[in-house]
A = this chain, B = another copy of it.
Amino acid sequence: MSCQLEMVATIVGTGSTKYDKHPASSSRELFGEAAAEAFDGIDLTPADLDAVYVGNFMGDLIEDQGHMGPLLADHVGAREAASVRVENACASGGTAVGQAVHAIESGAAEAILVGGVEQMSIADIEHVTDALANAADDVYENEQGLTFPGIYALMARRYMHEFGVTEADLAAVSIKNHNNAVANPLSQFQTEVSQEEVLASKPIATPLRLYDACPVSDGASVVVVASESFAAAHDLDPAAHVLGTGQSSDAVALQDRTAITHTPAAERAATAAYDDAGLTPADVDVAEVHDCFTIAEIMAVEALGFYERGEGARGAVEGETALDGRRPVNPSGGLLGKGHPVGATGVGQLVELTKQLDGRHPNQVEDADVALAHNVGGSGASTTVTILGGA
């Protein structure tokens, strides 16, 4: 009963751990580190927050810890805030962002800490693989032995067949993103890779090789989202505005999809976000997209309307999505180069893009005014798209 006009959501603070193996740090420690950075230097304390939204995928499976909302809210000093864990597999972070924007726009909250966190490296890799498989359909995929490298390999194989794309084309995405990651201090990998190295890396699920896949990562990222009126009243300097959000879903099991060489949920989420923002793909200056595998970035840039279907590989192959290209994609290094602490990823994209819009990114894109984040859960069953504008 509290909706008011023009509760525009703005980003007034950001923080992130390095994405890396942090075997000695619990989720609460990682989240606390990211939150401390976000509040450093702004005239706001965690006790001022109305809410804390946490994207987390596998805390219960890895750390025996559910109920992360109040646990992390209390840990960062926001004990009384309305708090919640939002889970949408690898899109948990992006979904938490959307939920928070709704709460701001409804007038139910004026200042929200939206964060994501994942601790994966304390468990052995078989356990992590099992946990990740919870994002797929247990009955029709996992129990049949199909895990995510296999699922994306099926998509890649068919895509390559339909559109004449090669392993070298996939490799171009990996090379670009690993090379972008070098200058980003938050990246897990900070070494350039060559085409020769990518194509010589071991197959993990043919046609995908090791360098076609993102790593297992630990980390946390947060943004402080506030209404424009709250920011003004508290003398907070908005670093970016949320211009539009979109979310859509699809069948979880690949076998139930109408398409496996494009991503309808992402297309719908993008359309919704563009409509919400009153913008078109041509307006986007820089994007962070969900490149869990190289093929995923190719399908992402198509779903977002940057390329026609079957044309997405051109972005990396022809340098159009490179740092100095006409529309840079994943200047952070993406999931392939920066890393993928699952619940944190969708929020980390906003941390990166806020820096771009604020003119302080280590891989700064010139004249970036409109930025887009694309976050995917499972093999495309959940997708969120968030469009930010410079303040």
Binding site for B on A (CB under 8 A): 1-8, 26, 51-52, 57-58, 60-61, 63-71, 73-74, 78-89, 95, 98-99, 101-108, 130-131, 133-139, 142, 242-245, 247-252, 256, 264-265, 268, 276-278, 377-378, 381-382
Contact = CB atoms under 8 A, between A and B. Distances in A.
Copies of this chain, complex-wide, total: 2
26 contacts: A1-B244, A2-B105, A2-B276, A3-B4, A3-B6, A4-B5, A7-B106, A26-B139, A60-B61, A61-B61, A64-B142, A65-B134, A66-B135, A67-B89, A69-B88, A70-B251, A78-B249, A80-B268, A81-B248, A83-B382, A84-B95, A85-B86, A85-B88, A86-B86, A99-B99, A105-B107
Nearest to A99: B99
Nearest to A269: B82
Given A84-B87, A249-B80, A138 B381 contact: no
A390 to B, nearest CB: 15
Contact of A67 (B78, B87, B98): B87
Contacts of A265: 70, 80
A199 to B, nearest CB: 33
Nearest to A278: B1
B252 A64 contact: no
Contacts of A73: 249
Given A71-B381, A134-B67, A244-B1, A249 B82 contact: yes
B378 A107 contact: no
A2 B244 CA distance: 9
A69 B98 CA distance: 14
Given A276-B2, A382-B83, A60 B248 contact: no
Contact of A105 (B69, B108, B243, B382): B108
Contacts of A250: 70, 74, 79-80
A378 B105 contact: no
Nearest to A72: B252
B67 A84 contact: no
B245 A137 contact: no
Contacts of A377: 67, 70
